[in-house]
Amino acid sequence: MKGARVISLNLATTRQVWGFKDAVDGCLRAGITAIAPWRDQIEAIGLDEAARIVKANGLQVTGVCRGGMFPAESAAGRQAQIDDNLRAIDQAAALNADCLVLVVGGLPGSSKDLPGARQMVTDGIAAMLPHAIASGVKIAIEPLHPMYAADRACVNTIDQALDICEQLGETVGVAIDVYHVWWDPKLAQAIARAGRMNRIFAHHICDWLVPTQDMLLDRGMMGDGVIDLPAIRQIIEAAGYFGPQEVEIFSQDNWWKRPGDEVLAVIKQRVATVC
């Protein structure tokens, strides 16, 4: 089970109580040496300072969140998104991140053309790819649950993401977030395919609560919901990925209201006993 207990903290998990530096300090107190910051958190402290903190503490940055949001109604809008993604690559490179995570975007404007939106995603990634390759930054497409197909991500399964990867080359892979893919009846086959392609770049964990009060901001702590986390991790490791499990919890009415040190203590306990 090499690497099965290595934890990365996605800094969204403590974003209401900690900024970048405080989150790093909390992680170090808890013995966690891997993080995944969001771009607004990086920008709030400044990229140079964020990079200094990462280097000074020997941190692994398992991902930078997020690039993407490619579809737009106009060519100018699509170019603006590409330009923003080029800046995101620079941030990921400065932090020596394992990957830049993409939430690819949904239907532009009043469009109902889902295949067309997915083509805009493919075209957008293709446009940013030369800069990613030159910068040594891997690109991880994160498929989102189908409930987000219209507004956040028109790529909703690992297989859809891998179809894009096959077109664009080995720099582009997937971030497997259990919250978004646990329901897929072809999940095991898709993860195995990603393994054969060597395209698993990240593994995000949390849990799906029943009932869920808010589809965006009511994720559960591992063990509090219905996702079979050990089974999914076993499939991921069988596919050849042994990297950290990145804890990413959006929880406006629960975990975001708790002290950060308490949240990290529970995370460590749950990863050890549930994941």
**What DSSP designation does 187 have?**
H
Regions of the chain where pLDDT drops below 50: 1, 3
DSSP states of 58-85 = T-EE--EEEEE----SSHHHHHHHHHHH
Which pLDDT belongs to residue 5? 78
> Tokens 């060519």 map to which residue?
75
DSSP states of 101-128 = EEE-B---TT---HHHHHHHHHHHHHHH
End-to-end CA distance of the chain: 11
Which pLDDT belongs to residue 3? 44
Pick the CATH number of 7-273 from 3.40.630.30, 3.20.20.150, 3.20.20.70, 3.40.50.12280: 3.20.20.150
Write the CA distances from 253 to 112, 196, 258, integer angstroms: 33, 40, 9
Contact (Cβ atoms closer than 8 angstroms) between residue 223 and residue 183: no
Which pLDDT belongs to residue 1? 42
Which pLDDT belongs to residue 233? 98
- pLDDT 10s digits, 175-234: 999 999 999 999 999 999 999 999 999 999 999 999 999 999 999 999 999 999 999 999
**What DSSP designation does 221 have?**
P
Residue 28: both structure tokens together: 């170090």
